[in-house]
C-alpha cells in the first residue's frame, strides 16, 4: 500500500507546474516544432468521462516525451461551448446557458488538472467568447464575399422537439441524432455553405496526408465522388403536342441499351412543367404522390430494403437516345432531387433497385451486358447482374468492354463525361439562441447586406427566454431592441451602425455548433490577437497540425467541415497549406464491463473522479494506456485497476533500494529502447508491459543503481507524472523531471550475458532454466541434465528427439 497522499500530491504538483509554466509554449522560439491536438470537449454537465481520459492521456504521453527530446511542443486545450444541450437546459430551468456553461467548464478544467494533462492553459478559449467568435463571423463574411455562403429556399429536416433545422448528417434512421424525435420535412429559406465546390479537392488531397486508412475511407465514402455520364433524354406527349428533355447522370452508360423506363424525382422541375401544361392524363394521382413525398425525409425515401413506390406519368414517354425506343416515365420517391440530376434511366437487368421496381410494376427487363452465361443465370434466379462485362447490343458497340463502352456510347449519344459527388451543400443555419449570430442585416425591402468588419463581433444578446418559436423562427426574432438596428450602407456595400441612419433588421438565425469547431486549432497559435485570426508568420510556422487524435465518431463530419474551412482560408491566403492536419488517428472506445456501451441507463458509467480519489491520477492514466491496443475498443475492468495500483506501489518501494555504487542492469537500457519505440507508435499497452517487467527485475535485486532508477523514472514520467516528479525530488533534484532530457540507452550494456530457456516435454512447458548466452546445443543439454527439473520429468527415460532453439527453447520428445 502506498504511503503517498495522491490527492495532496496532484494538487501540489499541478499548481507548481502551472505557476512555473513548464508546459507553456514559446511559439516564436527557433526549435523543431510539434503541434499536437486533441478534440476540445463540449463542456457537458456530466463532466470528463473515461473516453476523454484515454485520448488526452495518449497525446499527453507523446507531448511529454517530445518536449524532452528537444521539440517545442504546442499542446493546447479549449472548449466547444455553443450547442443545444445548454440551451435545452436553459429552457427547462430558466438558467442562462452562459452560467451553466461556465460552471461546466470550471468542472472540466478541475478534472483535467487532476489528471495531470500538460496542456498550455495560457492558450485556452471558449467558442462562446465574443473575442473568439468575432473571427468565426469574419470567416463567414469572407465566404459570403466569395459566394460560398448563400441563402436558398429548400426542403429541410425539421425536428419538432428541438424546433430547429437539422443537416442531413444530423438525421440518423429518420430521427434527430440528439433527441431521437422523428424528423419532418419543411420548406424553409436556409443559409448554405457551398462545400460541394471543394468536393474534388477534399477527396484528392487526402493523398497528401498520413491519416489512418480507415479515416481516409470514411472521408471518401461521404464525399462520394464518381465519374459518370450526363445524357439527355427527350420526353414527349403521346399525341406529340408537347416536347421537352431531361438529363440523367449514370456511372453505367455501358448499359444504356438496357434502359426500359425512366424515373423522375417528385421534386424534379420537369414534373411541375408537365403538370402545368396539362400533359399528364393522371395529374391528380401524380400531384397526390408528389405532395406525400414532400413530407418524407431523405432517409425514409432511400432506406435499404424499403418497398419501392411510384406513379407512372400517363400520356408521356421518354426516348432512349441509344436506340430511339420509347420508354415509360415514372415519378418515384426513391429518386432524390439533390442527387445527380433528380432523374435516372432505369436498367432493371443490371441494377438491384431498378430490378425491384420493374418486378413490382411488371416492366420490361432487357439484358445489355453479357459475361458468358452469368447474366442469363442471374435473371433466371430473379436477380440482376450488376457487374461489368461486354455490350450485348448488336451493332458497332457489340463486344466492347464496359470500360471502353461507357465513353464511346456517351460520345455517340451526345453526352459528356463528368464527375459527381454525393456531397450536398452544408445547411448552416439554426433557428436557436445559443450560437454565433450571423453577421448580415436586411433593409425594409428585405435586401440583404453583410455587416462591415469593424462591426464585429455581433454579440449575442442576453435574454430571459430561450424557447424557439413554433413557426420555426429563432428566439432572437422576438427581441426587437436587438433585431432592429439603425445604420447605413457604406460605399463597399457593407452595413455600419449609425444612430441617425435607417432601421435595418438583423439576421436572427444562428450558426451551428460545427462553426466554432471548424477552425479552433488555428486560434491556439495566436489566441489573444485582436487584429487578425492569427499572426501570418506564426500560422506559417505552426500549420499544419502535426498530429490530431480523437474519436472515430468525429472523423467524418467534423473532419470534413474543418478541412473545407481550412482550404477556403488557404485560398484567400490566410494559412500556408491546403490541408489542416498531417496525421489523424483515433482511439478505440472504452466500453462498460462485459463489452457493452457505457450509459447512464445501464448504470455502468465510470467517473474518473472516483478512480482518482481511490487510486490517484497516475493509476488511472497508466491503466487507460495499459487496458489494450490504443486503436481498439476495450472493456473496463475494475480488477485490472488493482493490478496497476500494485505496480505503482512496487515503483515506490523500489525507491528505497536505490544506491550509488552498484552495476547498471541491461534491462533498463532495453526498456528505454522498447518504451521509446512504443510511445512513438502508440503501442502504449506494450510500453507499460515493458515498464512492469523492468520493475519486476528491480524487485529481485537488493540494490538498484541510482542511474538505473533515474532513467526508469524518466521513461515512466509521461505515463505517471505525479509519482515520478515526487520520487525525482526525493532523489535530490530541484528541477522538474518533466524538463529533463529523454534518456538514451547504453548499447554496450544492452547485451545480456545470460538467457532464460523454456524447458518443454512433448511440447508442454515444464519450467525454465538459465544458462550463459550463446552456448552450443551440447553444452546446454549437459547443463540441463544436471538440473532437478530434468530429473523430475525425464527420470531414466531415453529421449527420442530433442528440439533445440538457441537462447530460447529445449523441447524433449520421449
Q: Has residue 302 got a pLDDT over 80?
A: no
Mean pLDDT, range 429-448, rounded to an integer: 94
Mean pLDDT, range 417-429, rounded to an integer: 89
> Could you give the percent of the chain with pLDDT greater than 90?
66
pLDDT of 60 reads: 98
pTM of the complete model: 0.84
* Helix or strand run (H / E) with residue 624: helix 617-626
pLDDT of 169 reads: 60
User: Any idea what the Cα angle at residue 730 is, between residues 727 and 735, rounded to 5°?
Assistant: 85
Confidence band for 381, pLDDT divided at 50, 70 and 90: confident
CA nearest 527: which of 515, 539, 517? 539
Q: Has residue 374 got a pLDDT over 70?
A: no
Beta strand residue intervals within 602-719, DSSP E: 634-635, 658-659, 704-705
Q: Alpha-carbon distance 235 to 245, whole Å?
A: 5
Q: Alpha-carbon distance 588 to 586, whole Å?
A: 7
Confidence band for 376, pLDDT divided at 50, 70 and 90: low
Mean pLDDT score of the chain: 91
pLDDT of 6 reads: 84
Alpha helices in 511-556 (DSSP H): 514-517, 520-523, 536-542
Mean pLDDT, range 165-179, rounded to an integer: 74
pLDDT digits (tens, 9 = 90+) for 742-761: 999 988 887 766 788 999 98
Distance of CA 716 to the CA centre of its chain: 30
Confidence band for 454, pLDDT divided at 50, 70 and 90: very high
Cβ burial 118-152 (10 Å sphere, 16+ → b, else e): bbbbebbbbbbeeebbbbbbbbbbbbbeeebbebe
pLDDT digits (tens, 9 = 90+) for 200-228: 999 999 999 999 898 999 899 989 898 99
Which neighbouring-strand residues pair with 419?
A: 227
CA nearest 576: which of 534, 613, 605? 534
pLDDT digits (tens, 9 = 90+) for 384-393: 999 999 998 8
Q: Has residue 372 got a pLDDT over 80?
A: no
Residue 557 CB neighbours (<10 A): 16
Q: Alpha-carbon distance 38 to 55, whole Å?
A: 7
pLDDT digits (tens, 9 = 90+) for 87-130: 878 878 888 999 999 999 999 999 999 999 999 999 999 999 99
The phi, psi pair for 651, rounded to 5°, reads -60, -45
Confidence band for 598, pLDDT divided at 50, 70 and 90: confident
- Comparing 346 with 766, the larger pLDDT belongs to 346
Amino acid at each position: 500500500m502506498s504511503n503517498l497522499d495522491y490527492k495532496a500530491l496532484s494538487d501540489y504538483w499541478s499548481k507548481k507546474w502551472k505557476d512555473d509554466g513548464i508546459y507553456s509554449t514559446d511559439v516564436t522560439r527557433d526549435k523543431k516544432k510539434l503541434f499536437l491536438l486533441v478534440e476540445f470537449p463540449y463542456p457537458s454537465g456530466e463532466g470528463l468521462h473515461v473516453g476523454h481520459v484515454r485520448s488526452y492521456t495518449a497525446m499527453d504521453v507523446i507531448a511529454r516525451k517530445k518536449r524532452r527530446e528537444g521539440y517545442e511542443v504546442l499542446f493546447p486545450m479549449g472548449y466547444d461551448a455553443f450547442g443545444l444541450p445548454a440551451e435545452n437546459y436553459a429552457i427547462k430551468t430558466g438558467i442562462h446557458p452562459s452560467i451553466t456553461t461556465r460552471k461546466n467548464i470550471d468542472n472540466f478544467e478541475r478534472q483535467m488538472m487532476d489528471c495531470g494533462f500538460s496542456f498550455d492553459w495560457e492558450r485556452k478559449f471558449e467558442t462562446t467568447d465574443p473575442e473568439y467568435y468575432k473571427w468565426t463571423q469574419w470567416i463567414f463574411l469572407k465566404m459570403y464575399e466569395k459566394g460560398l455562403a448563400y441563402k436558398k429556399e429548400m426542403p429541410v429536416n425539421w425536428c419538432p422537439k428541438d424546433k430547429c433545422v437539422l443537416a442531413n448528417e444530423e438525421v440518423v434512421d429518420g430521427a434527430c441524432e440528439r433527441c431521437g424525435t422523428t424528423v419532418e420535412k419543411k420548406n424553409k429559406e436556409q443559409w448554405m455553405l457551398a462545400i460541394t465546390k471543394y468536393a474534388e479537392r477534399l477527396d484528392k488531397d487526402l493523398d497528401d496526408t498520413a491519416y489512418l486508412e480507415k479515416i481516409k475511407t470514411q472521408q471518401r465514402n461521404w464525399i462520394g465522388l464518381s465519374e459518370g455520364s450526363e445524357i439527355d433524354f427527350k420526353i414527349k406527349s403521346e399525341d406529340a403536342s408537347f416536347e421537352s428533355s431531361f438529363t440523367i447522370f449514370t456511372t453505367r452508360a455501358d448499359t444504356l441499351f438496357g434502359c426500359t423506363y425512366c424515373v423522375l424525382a417528385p421534386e424534379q422541375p420537369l414534373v411541375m412543367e408537365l403538370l402545368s401544361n396539362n400533359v399528364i392524363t393522371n395529374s391528380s394521382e401524380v400531384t397526390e404522390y408528389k405532395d406525400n413525398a414532400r413530407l418524407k425525409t431523405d432517409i425514409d425515401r432511400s432506406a435499404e430494403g424499403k418497398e419501392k413506390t411510384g406513379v407512372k406519368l400517363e400520356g408521356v414517354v421518354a426516348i432512349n437516345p441509344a436506340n430511339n425506343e420509347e420508354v415509360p416515365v415514372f415519378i418515384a420517391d426513391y429518386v432524390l432531387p439533390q442527387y445527380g440530376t433528380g432523374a435516372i434511366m432505369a436498367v432493371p437487368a443490371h441494377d438491384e433497385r431498378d430490378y425491384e421496381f420493374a418486378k413490382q410494376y411488371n416492366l420490361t427487363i432487357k439484358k445489355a451486358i453479357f459475361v458468358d452465361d452469368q447474366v442469363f443465370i442471374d435473371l433466371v434466379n430473379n436477380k440482376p447482374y450488376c457487374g461489368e462485362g461486354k455490350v450485348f447490343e448488336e451493332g458497332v458497340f457489340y463486344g466492347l468492354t464496359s470500360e471502353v463502352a461507357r465513353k464511346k456510347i456517351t460520345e455517340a449519344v451526345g453526352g459528356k463525361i463528368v464527375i459527381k459527388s454525393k456531397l450536398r451543400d452544408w445547411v448552416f443555419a439554426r433557428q436557436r439562441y445559443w450560437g454565433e449570430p450571423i453577421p448580415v442585416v436586411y433593409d425594409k425591402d428585405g435586401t440583404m447586406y453583410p455587416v462591415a468588419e469593424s462591426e464585429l463581433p455581433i454579440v449575442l444578446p442576453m435574454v430571459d427566454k430561450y424557447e424557439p418559436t413554433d413557426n420555426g423562427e429563432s428566439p432572437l426574432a422576438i427581441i426587437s431592441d436587438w433585431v432592429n438596428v439603425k445604420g447605413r450602407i457604406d460605399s463597399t456595400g457593407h452595413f455600419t451602425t449609425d444612430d441617425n441612419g435607417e432601421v435595418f433588421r438583423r439576421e436572427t438565425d444562428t450558426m451551428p455548433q460545427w462553426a466554432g469547431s471548424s477552425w479552433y486549432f488555428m486560434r491556439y497559435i495566436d489566441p489573444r490577437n485582436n487584429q487578425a485570426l492569427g499572426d501570418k508568420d506564426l500560422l506559417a510556422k505552426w500549420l499544419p497540425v502535426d498530429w490530431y487524435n480523437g474519436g472515430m465518431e468525429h472523423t467524418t463530419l467534423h473532419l470534413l467541415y474543418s478541412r473545407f474551412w481550412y482550404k477556403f482560408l488557404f485560398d484567400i491566403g490566410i494559412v500556408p497549406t491546403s490541408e489542416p492536419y498531417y496525421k489523424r488517428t483515433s482511439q478505440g472506445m472504452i466500453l462498460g464491463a462485459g463489452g457493452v456501451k457505457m450509459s447512464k441507463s445501464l448504470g455502468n458509467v465510470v467517473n474518473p473522479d472516483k478512480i482518482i480519489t481511490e487510486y490517484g491520477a497516475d493509476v488511472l492514466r497508466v491503466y487507460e494506456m495499459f487496458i489494450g491496443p490504443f486503436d481498439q475498443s476495450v472493456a473496463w475492468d475494475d480488477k485490472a485497476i488493482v493490478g496497476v495500483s500494485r505496480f505503482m506501489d512496487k515503483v515506490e518501494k523500489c525507491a528505497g533500494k536505490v544506491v550509488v555504487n552498484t552495476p547498471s542492469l541491461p534491462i533498463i537500457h532495453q526498456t528505454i529502447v522498447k518504451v521509446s519505440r512504443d510511445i512513438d507508435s502508440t503501442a502504449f499497452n506494450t510500453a507499460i508491459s515493458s515498464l512492469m517487467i523492468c520493475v519486476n527485475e528491480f524487485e529481485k535485486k537488493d540494490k538498484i543503481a541510482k542511474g538505473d532508477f533515474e532513467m526508469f523514472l524518466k521513461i515512466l514520467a509521461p505515463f505517471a507524472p505525479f509519482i515520478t516528479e515526487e520520487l525525482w525530488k526525493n532523489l535530490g533534484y530541484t528541477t522538474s523531471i518533466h524538463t529533463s532530457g529523454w534518456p538514451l540507452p547504453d548499447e554496450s550494456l544492452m547485451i545480456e550475458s545470460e538467457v532464460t530457456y523454456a524447458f518443454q516435454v512433448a511440447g508442454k512447458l515444464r519450467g525454465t532454466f538459465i544458462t550463459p548466452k550463446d552456448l552450443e546445443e551440447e553444452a546446454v543439454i549437459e547443463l540441463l541434465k544436471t538440473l532437478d527439473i530434468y530429473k523430475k520429468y525425464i527420470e531414466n527415460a531415453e529421449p527420442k528427439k530433442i528440439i533445440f532453439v538457441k537462447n530460447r527453447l529445449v523441447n524433449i520428445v520421449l
